[in-house]
Amino acid sequence: MNAVKIRGKILFLAGMLIALGGGWVGFPHAIYRSRPQPVDFSHQVHADKAGAKCDDCHAFRADGTFAGIPGLDKCAGCHAAPMGATAAEKNFIEQYVTPNREPEWASYARQPENVYFPHLAHVKRGQIACETCHGDEGAANTLRPYQQDRISGYSRDIWKIGATRAGKPMGHGMKMADCVDCHRRQGLAHSCLDCHK
């Protein structure tokens, strides 16, 4: 009888471990829809070979608002004709620049509609480096696939789980708790309406 109980416990624990492992591996595939970015883009090539800085492409408008992902006109300023011999460069010119068609980029950092994040205040006044929130994207040779939460519709990167994938240390996501923690470390106090409009 004792051997039967031990065998039963072993089988139960083995089944539990298999179920937990299956959930650990399967859950992200169930909750996140993944798709590649439209262009095989290298931040590293643009930073190293072209000497581009973040704000050369991700600039502020005249009114101080952040432009975010650059439009095709910004890219076409340098890429009216292929500047390299890669297939990605040729594809970009043929598929987007020549027909004047905007790439449908997916934003890793899109926040909920009720959130107002003033990049200008953080980057210019606060002297916060882009890498603080966005990780070391400037050193990336390719763009990661965009993963969208099937329930909320937002990018996986705004959550702490996605933050570790983006090369940022755990705890440096783009959730409200991350913003609040940073403000507390800086000794800043704000009301809800400073960020939520």
pLDDT at 164: 44
Q: Where are the domains of the chain?
A: 2-32, 107-194
Strand-pair category, 146-149 with 32-35: antiparallel
C-alpha span between 151 and 28 (Å, rounded): 12
> Is the torsion defined by CA of 48, 51, 54, 59 positive or negative?
negative
pLDDT at 83: 80
Q: 160 with 175: CB under 8 angstroms?
A: yes
Eight-state DSSP code of residue 35? E
Q: What does each of the 197 residues of the chain score in pLDDT, given as a tens digit?
A: 687 788 888 989 999 999 888 888 877 778 889 999 999 888 988 888 888 888 888 888 888 788 888 899 888 888 888 787 888 888 899 999 999 999 999 988 888 888 888 888 888 888 888 888 777 777 888 888 998 988 888 888 876 554 444 454 544 567 888 888 888 888 888 788 888 87
pTM of the model: 0.70
pLDDT at 173: 64
Q: 150 with 32: CB under 8 angstroms?
A: yes
